Structure 1
């Protein structure tokens, strides 16, 4: 906090010297034995002394502690970062140089170390205003960390604009000028081809139908039960509600469903209660609520979303209070207590859960001007880099107490999936400056290729699971995201390596498409196998269901943008037709229990990720590439778009 701007006295008025000369108890003026002229000189001397003291209080550079003594609590905000994080605050105060390194800030030339921070930046606008806002002589940011930090409450900082200059906080308007393309493209991403446009309009109609039924039958609840026409709360979010609302904000906005978006925004403003109890999944709250609110803010600039997400971010910090800093999987948002899932081996934390925080937490640091969130996720990365990895692979269970692996089960599907996704997306989101994330990703991918990637007798490429050296020739629907992941990470410098990864991405996406086409409904099962003569089909009754999952369609969208091969749009349209035929019911969309029978049995659940991911990816698949351009945006694992940390050429802060 040193070097902060001088704060005026409450009300902005000069101090009244007469208040200092109230009578002291037991002393009379007549008893002082001073003549009138001596009194005048004495009073004049004291007046000058008081004026000098108050002048020093507000103009000397190291007067912050004195300000705290004389100014009220409403003028100097308390130093807090959330329940259970007091030690973190002390560490921020003690380590200013380390903070600068973590933030990736470099001083401007001639600034004597007090240079202005470099924030979200990329290609500067050609406008005169954008040119004026750039810092002359600033160097490119070398670390992925972001923002200037002051260890105080993030939510208070978001609402105390009267105590901050514009140059000291995130500027949404400057941010928009730093994007290479408008978020919604030239014409909302409207395709020129009439058939593609018609298909996109159909996806938009599906979204409106799903939303309208949710609003009518389950408003404020987490999800809609379309058969029984009521709401579902569940226990993934503690007592937080409205998951479908938060998950839908950005989808409604990019589709231009503004009346529906405004209804959702009003609910967030009036009804979203973050002071809830109950067991909430740190992972699910982060990817759905934090991700949804962040993307809504970055797309719209509505301060409401920023305030809410910073309030929520603070409530997640106590989960990291473990001996290793690896967060536990369950947190009570009201009390701040956290624990591990009861079903997790030996009280362990799960790779896909503690490894799927980086994107959102870096942006929490950006918006709050507090590096604590970035520090938390960087600490996870440091620990993972230290410990030995069997055959270079990352097992799915890790003890938050000892920092050791609990089991040697490796999966690119459930329990492991989005950890790998967030490594490559962290690199991309940093504007390709986060070399550590890049190296971790490619090392992991090499180990995956060497140990897990298999070719079936029928020529299908798939990713098996690894159980202590024994391969299980099963691939989950969740693992089908990996086609898109490998595709967007294909740019590794050497042309032959790039083509190798693009080919691998295409092969995996093809295999996942086969899991759809080999079912009666043309929808894919939860898991499919490649043993006992089976090829991309579920052999167990417990794996035959489909719950409106997006991962296969996600890979179609990425592969379309990377290759523009028309087959990906055709495959996406096949999925639309199957969803309409088998999952659409009178009052919404429902998952089905068996993809291999035309006598459909519905599961009576319209998942919130159907609104956030499945329909959004389909809409993007049938849109032009400038709608949420991959030059400017990465999608979190719930498909919430977050801006690339644009650090090289366009500076948000002055």
Structure 2
């Protein structure tokens, strides 16, 4: 029983400022509770034990007020409970805390989603650093803890590397579930309509995902997919396929799986496919056609032009060269090396920059005067460097073309925004600069960092750091935290905003280029901010693109978090590239696909760096 004598004791006491309990074993009948103060009324018969709660506060403290009565009331109610009741409450609280801690890793990826069962909880993020953008007001998370507030208590949990790795695995399992349930053996999943779409009819998503499953240790999923490859995958089909896409996704995926698993099945399938792609090189110029019928053994350019894109014909070399090395059949390497020799000597370049199109009849560049590092040209620059590394850094023409191209980029395409001096890569059209940058260009920070790691000039790394920040801002300046397909940049400081997005460019296709570069940047710098940026991207994929029944979808509008406009399509590269690079970004095992031993093709399929130079 609590008695409040209604006044403050003016005395110095060892427990000043806290609540002291005095136990009385005798009855009170009008006596002074504080020996001389005003009397307190008797509340119970003499035989009842009573408890007196007195608050002795510091005379200089202002904390003693009406809150005292509330504290005493709560304490009174607590003491009125039986020992069994109090023990039961404490046990339930402890159990709830333990269950919350144990369940955290499995709910990490879902708690920000629309369908999350944790919507009733309050989540907040603590950012411990602010970016150095002058006046931008953008927050940049370097160390993040997630707070989960339940009704009865608060606890803090961190998202360490192990939790993030598991979150990526969970994302892959969720995407794979949708594919397995609704699109098994087909090219791509349509997660909203729970159906599929065909491009080549070759199980594109399945093959693109094989090495990702191996790397993540998803053994059951890998074994099931392997059985499909063994029993169902056949290239003896009357179907036209795109030479470039089939090479980087299917041929590259099969070669990568062979190296990772040692399973001869994948090499046999790769050899079969490679031989069926060879008719594409039967052209007057030796520049390959874009399309080939792998059943009939015929090839042709697109119906609307006799041109191929420069990226298509110069970004198949890693795979064909490796196929020759493994099979000891030189024809694959010979045809792709011939393409690179021709491009090396072609007129029409602009300080190492190449046009976007090349004619398969004449072997000459077309549509001259337009230069970009975006679509139709991007991976030309990537494969110059990677072929040089793959072959043991002995092919001087490749290195020369790469270094000259990067100098051309710095001279003609690099600019800074007006508002916050973000470095970006624009485009050049007949000497007119266009402040437009595709998300595809975000491959460049990783490529520059890879070159610097292999002994190329240090200012390449400086540019990589600056461009990585810009690619990050393409995400954080959008309301969904996801990048648009194409961004335009403000050159005038009066514009106020660095990134401007036109309505037709607001879609997001779950692309990998930014997380790819984050992986390279973290591997070479160990700066944890790159991991944090990747974690934010994964969380936003989960929030805005995840379909509850399985799969992820591309979206139409990164500027509208309320209605991002799902497109009902999950690209194969989301599993083959995006989630793979996120997994490698969060892995603490630096020997896992060491960048001193492996080179990644443009579809994120790792191939070994050759132990001896090419012949």
Aligned to 1:389: 348
TM-score (norm 2): 0.71
Aligned to 2:389: 428
Residue of 474, 480, 501 corresponding to 2:460: 501
* Shift in Å, 1:433: 2.0
Superposed, which structure 2 residues align to 1:242-641 within 5 Å? 242-343=203-304, 346-392=305-351, 393-408=353-368, 409-457=370-418, 458-491=420-453, 493=455, 497-498=457-458, 500-531=459-490, 533=495, 535-586=497-548, 587-598=550-561, 599-624=563-588, 625-641=590-606
Give the secondary-structure state (helix, strand or coil) at the position aligned to 1:634.
Answer: strand
Instruction: Give the number of the structure whose residues are more often strand, by fraction.
Output: 2
Superposed, which structure 2 residues align to 1:36-115 within 5 Å? none
Aligned to 1:75: none
Contact 1:483-1:506 within 8 A present in 2 as well: yes
* Shift in Å, 1:434: 2.3
Aligned to 1:208: 173
Give the secondary-structure state (helix, strand or coil) at the position aligned to 1:454.
Answer: strand
**Cα distance in 1 for residues equivalent to 2:316 and 2:566:** 33
Contact 1:538-1:544 within 8 A present in 2 as well: no
Superposed, which structure 2 residues align to 1:184-199 within 5 Å? 195-199=160-164
* Shift in Å, 1:385: 1.7
**Cα distance in 1 for residues equivalent to 2:340 and 2:178:** 42
Give the secondary-structure state (helix, strand or coil) at the position aligned to 1:413.
Answer: coil
Aligned to 1:643: 608
**Cα distance in 1 for residues equivalent to 2:359 and 2:415:** 30
Query: Per the alignment, do residues 478 and 534 of structure 1 end up closer, same or farther by CA in structure 2, a change over 3 Å counting?
Result: farther
**Cα distance in 1 for residues equivalent to 2:574 and 2:384:** 24
Q: Structure 1, residues 142-188: CA drift from partner, whole Å, max 9, x if none?
A: xxxxxxxxxxxxxxxxxxxxxxxxxxxxxxxxxxxxxxxxxxxxxxx
**Cα distance in 2 for residues equivalent to 1:296 and 1:445:** 32
Contact 1:218-1:224 within 8 A present in 2 as well: yes
**Cα distance in 1 for residues equivalent to 2:608 and 2:197:** 32
* Bigger radius of gyration among the two: 2
Aligned to 2:117: none
**Cα distance in 2 for residues equivalent to 1:485 and 1:386:** 23
**Cα distance in 2 for residues equivalent to 1:396 and 1:245:** 31
TM-score (norm 1): 0.67
**Cα distance in 2 for residues equivalent to 1:558 and 1:635:** 11
* Unaligned 5+ runs, structure 2: 1-157
Query: Per the alignment, do residues 517 and 265 of structure 1 end up closer, same or farther by CA in structure 2, a change over 3 Å counting?
Result: same
**Cα distance in 2 for residues equivalent to 1:340 and 1:534:** 45
Query: Per the alignment, do residues 450 and 305 of structure 1 end up closer, same or farther by CA in structure 2, a change over 3 Å counting?
Result: same
Contact 1:348-1:400 within 8 A present in 2 as well: yes
Q: Structure 1, residues 399-447: CA drift from partner, whole Å, max 9, x if none?
A: 1111211112221111001111111011111122222211111111111
Give the secondary-structure state (helix, strand or coil) at the position aligned to 2:557.
Answer: coil
Instruction: Give the number of the structure whose residues are more often helix, by fraction.
Output: 1
Contact 1:515-1:525 within 8 A present in 2 as well: yes
**Cα distance in 1 for residues equivalent to 2:390 and 2:534:** 27
Structure 1 segments of 4+ aligned residues over 4 angstroms from their partners: 491-494
* Shift in Å, 1:492: 6.4
* RMSD of aligned Cα (Å): 1.8
* Shift in Å, 1:491: 4.3
Query: Per the alignment, do residues 411 and 216 of structure 1 end up closer, same or farther by CA in structure 2, a change over 3 Å counting?
Result: same
**Cα distance in 2 for residues equivalent to 1:263 and 1:418:** 32
* Shift in Å, 1:535: 5.0
Aligned to 1:62: none
Q: Structure 1, residues 488-516: CA drift from partner, whole Å, max 9, x if none?
A: 0114647xx32x11110011111011010
Contact 1:527-1:543 within 8 A present in 2 as well: yes
Aligned to 1:99: none
* Shift in Å, 1:339: 1.6
Higher relative contact order (CA 8 A, sep 6+): 1
Contact 1:512-1:536 within 8 A present in 2 as well: no
* Unaligned 5+ runs, structure 1: 1-192
Q: Structure 1, residues 381-405: CA drift from partner, whole Å, max 9, x if none?
A: 1111221133222001011111211
Contact 1:525-1:537 within 8 A present in 2 as well: no
Aligned residues: 449
* Shift in Å, 1:534: 7.5
* Shift in Å, 1:275: 1.3
**Cα distance in 1 for residues equivalent to 2:360 and 2:291:** 12
**Cα distance in 1 for residues equivalent to 2:268 and 2:453:** 36
**Cα distance in 1 for residues equivalent to 2:482 and 2:525:** 24
Give the secondary-structure state (helix, strand or coil) at the position aligned to 2:415.
Answer: strand
* Shift in Å, 1:279: 2.4
Contact 2:453-2:524 within 8 A present in 1 as well: no
